[in-house]
Amino acid sequence: MKALRMAIAALALTGVAGAAIAAQRQVTIPIDFTCPVSDPQLFEFVLKRQPGVLSVEVFFDEQWVVVIYDDLLTDQQELIDALIDVGLGEMLGSDPITEGPAPEAKP
């Protein structure tokens, strides 16, 4: 029993016990790029500055932005809030936002 308690204590000290596991997530945010002042680079700039964002890809013709992020550092709502905070909330599209696991990286 003492060995079990020591093993649990060692795991706790090393941070393994109860540690959250990061996962890469992907969110597709619809954007209304028909507004005359909409600048796809602005969306990219704002989103890339958020903690945990790994990549941002803007699809102007399809009118959406795809963001891959670390779910321990940010989430979908924080990304949306960042856009709203800089005045881009009015350009968010009305289509639903889709989220899921990020695709596997290609070798």
Q: Please report whether residue 30 resides in a domain.
A: yes
73 within a domain of the structure (yes/no): yes
Q: How many domains, the chain?
A: 1
Rounded distance, CA 103 to CA 79, Å?
A: 19
Tell me the residue range of the domain where 72 lies: 21-101
pLDDT surpasses 60 at 40: yes
Residue 51, pLDDT score: 96
Kindly state whether residue 1 falls inside one of the protein's structural domains.
Answer: no
| 7 within a domain of the structure (yes/no) | no
User: 11-32 b/e with 16+ CB inside 10 Å = b?
Assistant: eeeeeeeeeeeeebbbbbbbbe
* Residue of higher predicted confidence among 18 and 60: 60
Q: What is the per-residue pLDDT for 106?
A: 47
106 assigned to some structural domain:
no
Residue 86: CATH number of its domain: 3.30.70.100
Would 45 be classed as within a structural domain? yes
